[in-house]
A and B are shown apart, each in its own frame.
Chain A
Amino acid sequence: MDKIEKDLLKTIADIESTPIGAYNIRANGEKIARNTTANIDIKTKEDKPGIDIIVKENTVNESIHIPVIITESGLKDLVYNDFYIGKNANVVIVAGCGIHNGSCNTSQHDGIHTFYLEEGSKVKYIEKHYGEGEGTGKRILNPQTIIHLKKGASLEMESVQIKGVDSTIRDTKAYLEDDTNLSISERIMTHGEQYAKTNFYVELNGKNSSSHVASRSVAKDNSVQEFFSDVNGNNKCFGHVECDAIIMDNSKVISTPQIVANNIESNLIHEAAIGKIAGDQLTKLMTLGLTEKEAEEQIISGFLNS
């Protein structure tokens, strides 16, 4: 691995040397490293590009890293990664994609991740998306996440787009059975002429299923963001969608939260707020000694990091 690849890995998956536990590192469309453990198997798919990650029942305190990096300009990479999480397992999965585009051709990675969580299992899923490079070629990432939660399962997803991604369409679909919980926290920052679209589709099918989707985003320069959420309450359930955005310069943010109560026992809430940084917030930080620019950076970093 060269320095660019190492830096990308560090940024998206916090990997500096060989990760502990199971991992599969994909670079420029090829597997470059893999490790399995007694409880976690990783197999290459035979019918299409991608891998199957199989976690045995009752596996706890283990992690799986599956980062993807692209440094070859013009490469279009499509992968299907399926996660099979056994009963009562409790694992952390770190995904993410980093693109370094040093040329004029478009580099693109579309990762389609499907999670099958068996009864009582728990997953913490972290994905980071990042683009860099001096080239004029576009850096495009279109992740899809499909989540199936069986009785008593829960998934906590942290999705972060740090910077440098020219265009992204992020689709997340979730199907929840009884006593399940889905918590999604999304953080996006766009700048320049970038475009980011997020779609959340949640079916709360099970009794006592609950979902919490929180999106915080900052749009700078001429960038455009769209946020769509569609949460359907089909049983006694609780669903909460929260979309907060800061707009700056000439940016534009569209937020369309939809909640559908198909059952009298469903309790659904959506909240959406878009606005520029409040003047009194800037003033307060300036009275503590920060310049206007420093205050702005502090407000954005706090907003996105929390």
Chain B
Amino acid sequence: MLELQNISFSRDNKKILNNINLHIDSNKFIAITGPNGSGKSTLAKIVMGIYSPDSGKIIFNGKDITSLPIAERAKLGIGFAFQQPVTFKGLTVKDLISISAGENIKTCTACSYLSDVGLCAKEYINREINSKLSGGELKRIEIAMLEAKKSKLTLFDEPEAGIDLWSFNNLIHVFEKMHKEINGTIIVISHQEKILNISDEIIYLNNGEIKDIGSKDDILPQLLCQTKNCKFLNDESN
């Protein structure tokens, strides 16, 4: 469904992505992990069209979308959940979920999306998406928006950051529901073992390059092993 061919991207004379080649199939749950600054978010933004690669091609469902603007890609079935959700003055939760769904949705439909992310629809549906909402609330609304969008390919940039444990469990449930209902592919950028654990495939990125791709059984033990190098953790376990 998604193919990245020789994608490279630099900013301020720094190579952020270096010759990325990747093939992702339909109906998969993929996790992208790697240290901070490894290029994970940049890669997701390149797929969405927020950044343009310096070189390389992006093929989505057989179509070259490298030069397509963001909105066109969204219409073709790509969705993106921001790591730091954007706030607005005046636009409400219902407005954004409606835009996302591509129609003026009924309150009861919005209610089911909001319930999935652990928010009471009655309390939130007419709230402005502004800075008066907490980071966790914004994050959950962002996820509800993507659930409403029903994209064939949805990218989540660190969706678990800033939300509590209770909603984290809900989050996993939302991913599973989306995966089942839409039969699409979900790509999650994450550091969380719990998310990596439910993935069909894990992509490990470091220094702008794909260092490893494989099933969780292949990749996860290696990733967890890396923590053994941490003196602090080793001391703690002894």
Contact = CB atoms under 8 A, between A and B. Distances in A.
Secondary structure at the A interface, as helix, strand, loop or mixed, is: helix
Contacts, number: 67
Contacts of B100: 288-289
A278 to B, nearest CB: 8
A100 B71 CA distance: 38
Nearest to A293: B71
Given A285-B99, A286-B69, A302 B88 contact: yes
A291 interface: yes
B145 interface: yes
B40 interface: no
Nearest to A278: B86
A83 interface: no
Interface residues of B, number: 25
Interface string B85-104: 11011111001100110100
A287 B149 CA distance: 10
B123 to A, nearest CB: 17
Contacts of B92: 302, 306
B150 to A, nearest CB: 12
A285 B74 CA distance: 10
A88 B1 CA distance: 68
A302 B79 contact: no
A299 B79 CA distance: 20
Contacts of B102: 289
A297 to B, nearest CB: 12
B137 interface: no
A305 B90 CA distance: 7
B75 interface: yes
Q: Is the interface of B mostly helix, strand, loop or mixed?
A: mixed
Interface in A272-306: 278, 280-281, 283-292, 294, 298-299, 301-306
A302 B80 CA distance: 22
Contacts of B70: 283, 286-287
A306 B90 contact: yes
A77 interface: no
B143 interface: no
Given A298-B99, A302-B95, A306-B128, A287 B89 contact: no
23 contacts: A244-B89, A281-B88, A286-B71, A286-B74, A287-B48, A287-B80, A288-B96, A288-B100, A288-B149, A289-B71, A289-B75, A290-B99, A292-B71, A294-B71, A299-B91, A302-B91, A302-B92, A303-B88, A303-B91, A304-B90, A306-B90, A306-B91, A306-B128
Interface of B: 48, 50, 69-71, 74-75, 79-80, 82, 85-86, 88-92, 95-96, 99-100, 102, 128, 145, 149
